[in-house]
Amino acid sequence: MTDPLFRLLGSPVTLLELLAFGLALWMVACNLRVNPLAWPLAMVSSAMYGWLFLHSRLYGEASLQLLFIAVAAWGWRQWLTGRGSDGEPLRVHRLGTRQRLAVLIATLVGWPAVALLLQHATDSDVPWLDALPTVGSIAGQILLGRKLVENWPIWLAVNLVSVLLFAVKGLWLTVILYALFAVLSVVGWRAWLRLQAIGAVHG
């Protein structure tokens, strides 16, 4: 799984990276349509990416995949049986201003904490660049699980930083994936804003 199949821009591409790439794209396509199939796909692709990132010494990203698997199980249940504050089945909605500020502060506090941990506890050569998308992804995944529109701008920021991170590590197929993710984040953001508006009218 980790043996090179071919080279892309001078770096090896493995079967593991190729399979994770395909599953991750399928997952995002399901998220755009608010299809619960996204969550089991997320669990499998996260396991594969965890293996890939560990092999590349991206310990923050590798550890994040374990959290993703756990949060995906929670998110899957939320989408199938979760309820909103009104007691109705969970639907696409938005955070309040104070809640947005709380998410931003938590992310800004978590970034240096994770970066320093990676810097002192591992042999990571990109601790600060690894830590930022790691912390942002946790916020994005939790908001996605609760069908909050704000998950999409967070994913947009995470994906753009991740493009730089994976380029530094020479994971070019994953660079392409995260560039696509960035575009799909904008598509998802617009689609969920429409769904939220429809839900507000009919809610």
Q: Which region, left, alpha or beta, applies to residue 58 given φ > 0 means left and ψ of -120 to 50 means alpha? A: beta
Q: What is the pLDDT of residue 64?
A: 75
The predicted pLDDT at position 88 comes to 85
Specify the pLDDT at position 5.
65
Position 200 scores a pLDDT of 60
pLDDT digits (tens, 9 = 90+) for 46-83: 999 898 888 878 787 788 788 889 989 999 999 999 88
Closest CA to 133 of 159, 113, 151: 159
Residue 201 — very low, low, confident or very high, per pLDDT cuts 50/70/90?
low
| Per-residue pLDDT reduced to its tens digit, 107-139 | 999 999 999 998 888 888 888 988 999 899 889
Q: What is the mean pLDDT of residues 19-31?
A: 91
- The owner of tokens 């965890």 is 50
Domains of the chain by residue range: 9-82+96-182
User: Within 10 A of 75 (CB to CB), how many other CB atoms are there?
Assistant: 25
pLDDT at position 47: 93
Model pTM? 0.83
What CA–CA distance (Å, rounded) separates 110 from 132?
8
The tokens of 172 are what? 């070019």
Residues 6+ apart with CB under 8 A from 176: 21
**Residue 64's CB: how many other CB atoms inside 10 A?**
26
